[in-house]
C-alpha cells in the first residue's frame, strides 16, 4: 500500500499531524505501539502522574471549538483526565480510522530511486509513503537499567513509564522506588500512603517546587475561555511557550530582604514559574546560588531529620536538571515508614529474591518501582532501523550526538520529519505548543513540495552544521548545560554528551522557522527547483507569526545573549 504520508506515533504529535494531513486532502497512515492514543498519557499511569504546565495551557490550540468545549477540572490535570482529552480529540476529529494500534514501526528505509520511504511494522505491514513523520515523542523510550538479579526478585518490577493499565494495589506492601526524578517525585507521596514501608533509592537529589494544585473554579475557567486566543498568543510570545508572571530583574541587584520576599511570593505561586522569580537565574551562577539556597532552606524547614534533609538537598545549579513539581514530596520523609537511601557513591548492586542490595545491605521489598526515566529525545529513534541515502542509518549518523536542521529534519534523510526533534525547543517549552508549531510548519512544507511538483526535500549538510553550532553556542550561555542531566543524555551510559533541546526560547525559534519557510525553505534542497519565486503559502504556520514578548525578551537581553528561558 502507498500513502502520501506515514506517521509514527499517536500521541499529541501524531494525532495533530494526521488531522492536518487530512485537512490537506492527503492519505495518511499512523502506526502506534500502544493500543490507544495519547502517547505519554497512555503509558505513564503511575500514581500521581499529572502535567506540570497548567492544563489551560497544556492543551491543543488549533481549534477554538475544542478550547471552548473541553473543561479542565484541576490546575494540573491528572493523567486519566489528559488521556480522556486525547481520546476526546481522537473521536471529535474522527482520527482512529487511520491509526493502526498495537503496531510498532520496526524500520523505515528511504528508497532513493522512487524518492519514497518503505516502512515495516511489527505486524508485518509493508507500506510506502512519500513523507515519513516521526512523532515518536521525546520521553517515550523507557530506561530500564539492567540490574543484576532482576529475574531473581520474587515480586513485580514496574517502570513508571510502562505502568500496568489495570493499576497496582500497593496497600500493605513493602515498596522500593529507584530514582528521584519527576515521576518518582510525583508518585512517592501517593505510594507512601498505601505502602507498609517505602524505601527510596536516590542517586542525585532534585529540586522540586510545590504545585499547589487545586480544582479550577468556574469563574477562572470562564475568564480564560472568554479570551482563549489572547492567552495562547501571550503564551507563544514567551520563551517557554506558556504564560506566567516573569520578573526580568537581576537577582543580584536586589537586597537580600527583597530577594527573600520575591522568592517567597514565587514559591507560594509554585510550580515551574518559580524559576521566573528573576531574569538571570539561569545565566549567572551567583544569582542561581541565591535561589538554590532558598530552595535548600525550604527542604531543611520541611524535613525533620537533618541527615535526610541534607541528602535531599541538591548541590547543583537550580533548574539545571528538569525542575520537578510536587505535592507533599519532602514531607513524606517525615513518615516513619519512609527511608531514603543514598546510592550516589554506592549504586544499586543487584536485586535478590528479597529486595534491593546496596553496599552489601539488602533492603527488603515486595515490589520494585523503577522511576528511572527515559532515553530522552533520541531513544525512540534508536529503537527503529532508519536508513537514509547511501545506506546510512540514523543511528550511525547520530553516533556522536544528534544532528538536525531546526530539530525538524536531518541531512541525508529526505522527506523525513521529526516532531520536536533534538535541536528544537521541545522539552524546554510547553510541548503541546512545540508540537503544533512543528506540525503546522511540516504541513505547509509538504503542501509546498507537492505544489511545485518536487519529490524530495532535505536540509543541506551546511545548514545542519550551522544550526547544530548555533544550538551548542546558545546552550553554552545557559547554566543548564553545566550539569549531568537527561538534557545531555547523562542518564544513559555511553550516550554522547550533547545538549539536545534548543535553549534559545520558543518565539525566537519560531521566527527562525517562519523565516526559513518564507525564504523559500532556506537551508533545504529539493529535487525540483521552484522557479516561480512566489513566497510559499503559510496556511498553517500563519498563526505562529506572533511578536516576541518584549517585556520578557527585550532587545537588550537578546543582544546580551541573555534570553530568559525556564
Under the binding rule (CB under 6 A), the answer on residue 408 touching ligand FAD is no
Q: What is the C-alpha to C-alpha distance for residues 31 and 54, in angstroms, rounded to an integer?
A: 29
Which residues within the stretch 115-134 sit at the binding site for ligand FAD (CB under 6 A)?
Answer: none
DSSP string, 52-65: SS-TTTSS--S-HH
**Residue of 31, 85, 330, 405 that binds ligand FAD (CB under 6 A):** 31
Q: What is the C-alpha to C-alpha distance for residues 141 and 299, in angstroms, rounded to an integer?
A: 32
Q: Are 404 and 410 in contact (CB under 8 A)?
A: yes
Which residues within the stretch 50-79 sit at the binding site for ligand FAD (CB under 6 A)?
Answer: 51-53, 58
Q: What is the C-alpha to C-alpha distance for residues 312 and 177, in angstroms, rounded to an integer?
A: 15
For residue 484, what is its C-alpha cell?
Answer: 549531568
| Residue (181 or 523) nearer to ligand FAD, CB | 181
- Residue 356's H or E segment, with its range, is strand 355-358
Stretch that binds ligand FAD, among 48-56, 123-131, 309-317, 402-410 (CB under 6 A): 48-56
Stretch that binds ligand FAD, among 31-39, 150-158, 399-407, 544-552 (CB under 6 A): 31-39
Under the binding rule (CB under 6 A), the answer on residue 503 touching ligand FAD is no
Q: What is the C-alpha to C-alpha distance for residues 402 and 409, in angstroms, rounded to an integer?
A: 11
Instruction: Tell me phi and psi for residue 127, to 5 degrees.
Output: -125, 160
| Residue (39 or 270) nearer to ligand FAD, CB | 39
- Furthest CA-CA distance within the chain: 74
Q: What is the C-alpha to C-alpha distance for residues 159 and 138, in angstroms, rounded to an integer?
A: 17
Under the binding rule (CB under 6 A), the answer on residue 93 touching ligand FAD is no
Pattern of binders to ligand FAD over 334-373, x per CB under 6 A? ----------------------------------------
| Residue (241 or 536) nearer to ligand FAD, CB | 241
Q: What is the C-alpha to C-alpha distance for residues 322 and 303, in angstroms, rounded to an integer?
A: 22
- In the complex, least distance from residue 38 CB atom to ligand FAD, rounded to whole angstroms: 7
Which residues within the stretch 250-279 sit at the binding site for ligand FAD (CB under 6 A)?
Answer: none
Q: Are 144 and 129 in contact (CB under 8 A)?
A: no
The residue whose grid cell reads 543487584 is: 350
Pattern of binders to ligand FAD over 458-487, x per CB under 6 A? ------------------------------
Q: How many residues bind ligand FAD (CB under 6 A)?
A: 36
| Residue (44 or 526) nearer to ligand FAD, CB | 44
Strands in 184-250 per DSSP E: 197-202, 208-210
Q: Are 487 and 317 in contact (CB under 8 A)?
A: no
For residue 115, what is its C-alpha cell?
Answer: 524518492
- In the complex, least distance from residue 242 CB atom to ligand FAD, rounded to whole angstroms: 8
Under the binding rule (CB under 6 A), the answer on residue 140 touching ligand FAD is yes
- In the complex, least distance from residue 122 CB atom to ligand FAD, rounded to whole angstroms: 8
Q: Are 43 and 60 in contact (CB under 8 A)?
A: no
- In the complex, least distance from residue 24 CB atom to ligand FAD, rounded to whole angstroms: 20
Q: Are 140 and 374 in contact (CB under 8 A)?
A: yes
| Residue (53 or 295) nearer to ligand FAD, CB | 53
Stretch that binds ligand FAD, among 136-144, 399-407, 527-535, 540-548 (CB under 6 A): 136-144
For residue 462, what is its C-alpha cell?
Answer: 551546511
Under the binding rule (CB under 6 A), the answer on residue 183 touching ligand FAD is yes
**Residue of 40, 204, 372, 514 that binds ligand FAD (CB under 6 A):** 40
**Residue of 3, 6, 7, 9 that binds ligand FAD (CB under 6 A):** 9
- In the complex, least distance from residue 183 CB atom to ligand FAD, rounded to whole angstroms: 6
Under the binding rule (CB under 6 A), the answer on residue 188 touching ligand FAD is no
Under the binding rule (CB under 6 A), the answer on residue 44 touching ligand FAD is yes
| Residue (85 or 294) nearer to ligand FAD, CB | 85
SS3 174: strand
- In the complex, least distance from residue 164 CB atom to ligand FAD, rounded to whole angstroms: 16
- In the complex, least distance from residue 243 CB atom to ligand FAD, rounded to whole angstroms: 13
- In the complex, least distance from residue 159 CB atom to ligand FAD, rounded to whole angstroms: 11
Under the binding rule (CB under 6 A), the answer on residue 549 touching ligand FAD is no
| Residue (187 or 526) nearer to ligand FAD, CB | 187
Q: Are 177 and 371 in contact (CB under 8 A)?
A: yes
**Residue of 32, 440, 458, 549 that binds ligand FAD (CB under 6 A):** 32
Under the binding rule (CB under 6 A), the answer on residue 206 touching ligand FAD is no
- Which residues, 6+ apart, have CB-to-CB distance to 409 below 8 Å? 416, 417, 418, 421, 457, 458, 459, 524
| Residue (303 or 428) nearer to ligand FAD, CB | 428
Q: Are 539 and 518 in contact (CB under 8 A)?
A: no
How do 174-178 and 105-111 pair as beta strands?
Answer: unpaired
Instruction: Tell me phi and psi for residue 544, to 5 degrees.
Output: -95, 0
- In the complex, least distance from residue 442 CB atom to ligand FAD, rounded to whole angstroms: 13
Neighbours of 65 (CB within 10 A): 8
For residue 32, what is its C-alpha cell?
Answer: 502506534
**Residue of 187, 213, 316, 380 that binds ligand FAD (CB under 6 A):** 380
**Residue of 133, 195, 435, 517 that binds ligand FAD (CB under 6 A):** 435
SS3 507: helix
- In the complex, least distance from residue 300 CB atom to ligand FAD, rounded to whole angstroms: 28
Under the binding rule (CB under 6 A), the answer on residue 96 touching ligand FAD is no
User: Residue 329 to residues 187, 306, 313, 516: CA-CA distances in angstroms?
Assistant: 9, 16, 13, 45
Q: Are 266 and 276 in contact (CB under 8 A)?
A: yes
Environment class of 519 (CB within 10 Å of its CB; exposed 0-12, middle 13-18, buried 19+) = exposed
Residues that bind ligand FAD (CB under 6 A): 8-14, 31-34, 39-40, 42, 44, 49, 51-53, 58, 104-105, 135-140, 183, 380, 384, 419-420, 430-431, 435
Amino acid at each position: 500500500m502507498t500513502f502520501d504520508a506515514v506517521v509514527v506515533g499517536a500521541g499529541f504529535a501524531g494525532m495533530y499531524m494526521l488531522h492536518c494531513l487530512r485537512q490537506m486532502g492527503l492519505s495518511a497512515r499512523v502506526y502506534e505501539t500502544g493500543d490507544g492514543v495519547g502517547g505519554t498519557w497512555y503509558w505513564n499511569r503511575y500514581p500521581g502522574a499529572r502535567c506540570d504546565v497548567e492544563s489551560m495551557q497544556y492543551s491543543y490550540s488549533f481549534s477554538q471549538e475544542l478550547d471552548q468545549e473541553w473543561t479542565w477540572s484541576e490546575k494540573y490535570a491528572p493523567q486519566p483526565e489528559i488521556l480522556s482529552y486525547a481520546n476526546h480529540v481522537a473521536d471529535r476529529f474522527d482520527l482512529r480510522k487511520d491509526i493502526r494500534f498495537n503496531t510498532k514501526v520496526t524500520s523505515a528505509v528511504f528508497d532513493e530511486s522512487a524518492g519514497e520511504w518503505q516502512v515495516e511494522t511489527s505486524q508485518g505491514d509493508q507500506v510506502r509513503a512519500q513523507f515519513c513523520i516521526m512523532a515518536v515523542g521525546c520521553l517515550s523510550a523507557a530506561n530500564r537499567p539492567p540490574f543484576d538479579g532482576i529475574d531473581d526478585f520474587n515480586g513485580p518490577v514496574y517502570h513508571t513509564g510502562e505502568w500496568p493499565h489495570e493499576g497496582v494495589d500497593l496497600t500493605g506492601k513493602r515498596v522500593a522506588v529507584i530514582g528521584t526524578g519527576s515521576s518518582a517525585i510525583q508518585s512517592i507521596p501517593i505510594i507512601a500512603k498505601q505502602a507498609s514501608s517505602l524505601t527510596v533509592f536516590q542517586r542525585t537529589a532534585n529540586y522540586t517546587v510545590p504545585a499547589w494544585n487545586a480544582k479550577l473554579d468556574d469563574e477562572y475557567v470562564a475568564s480564560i475561555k472568554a479570551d482563549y486566543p489572547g492567552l495562547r498568543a501571550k503564551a507563544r510570545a514567551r520563551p517557554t511557550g506558556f504564560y506566567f508572571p516573569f520578573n526580568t530583574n537581576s537577582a543580584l541587584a536586589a537586597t537580600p530582604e527583597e530577594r527573600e520576599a520575591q522568592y517567597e511570593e514565587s514559591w507560594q505561586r509554585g510550580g515551574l514559574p518559580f524559576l521566573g522569580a528573576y531574569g538571570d537565574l539561569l545565566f549567572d551562577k551567583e544569582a542561581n546560588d541565591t535561589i538554590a539556597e532558598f530552595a535548600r532552606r525550604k527542604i531543611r524547614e520541611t524535613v525533620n531529620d537533618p541527615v535526610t534533609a541534607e541528602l535531599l538537598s541538591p548541590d547543583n545549579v537550580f533548574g539545571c536538571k528538569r525542575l520537578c513539581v510536587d505535592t507533599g514530596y519532602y514531607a513524606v520523609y517525615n513518615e516513619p515508614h519512609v527511608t531514603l537511601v543514598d546510592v550516589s557513591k554506592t549504586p544499586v548492586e543487584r536485586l535478590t529474591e528479597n529486595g534491593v542490595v546496596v553496599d552489601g545491605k539488602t533492603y527488603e521489598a515486595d515490589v520494585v518501582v523503577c522511576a528511572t526515566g527515559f532515553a530522552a529525545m533520541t531513544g525512540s529513534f534508536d529503537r527503529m532501523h532508519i536508513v537514509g541515502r547511501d545506506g546510512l542509518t540514523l543511528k550511525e549518523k547520530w553516533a556522536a550526538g544528534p544532528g538536525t536542521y531546526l530539530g525538524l529534519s536531518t541531512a541525508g534523510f529526505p522527506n523525513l520529519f521529526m516532531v520536536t526533534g533534538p535541536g528544537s525547543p521541545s522539552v524546554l517549552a510547553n510541548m503541546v505548543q512545540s508540537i503544533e508549531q512543528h506540525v503546522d510548519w511540516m504541513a505547509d512544507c509538504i503542501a509546498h513540495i507537492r505544489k511545485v511538483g518536487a519529490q524530495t526535500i532535505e536540509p543541506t549538510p551546511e545548514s545542519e552544521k550551522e544550526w547544530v553550532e548555533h544550538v551548542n553556542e546558545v546552550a553554552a550561555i545557559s547554566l543548564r548545560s553545566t550539569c549531568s542531566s537527561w538534557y545531555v543524555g547523562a542518564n544513559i551510559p555511553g550516550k554522547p554528551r550533547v545538549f539536545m533541546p534548543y535553549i534559545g526560547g520558543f518565539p525566537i525559534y519560531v521566527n527562525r522557522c517562519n523565516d526559513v519557510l518564507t525564504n523559500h525553505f532556506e537551508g533545504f534542497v529539493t529535487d525540483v527547483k521552484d522557479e516561480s519565486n512566489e513566497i510559499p503559502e503559510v496556511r498553517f504556520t500563519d498563526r505562529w507569526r506572533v511578536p516576541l514578548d518584549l517585556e520578557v525578551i527585550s532587545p537588550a537581553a537578546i543582544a546580551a545573549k541573555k534570553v530568559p528561558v525556564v
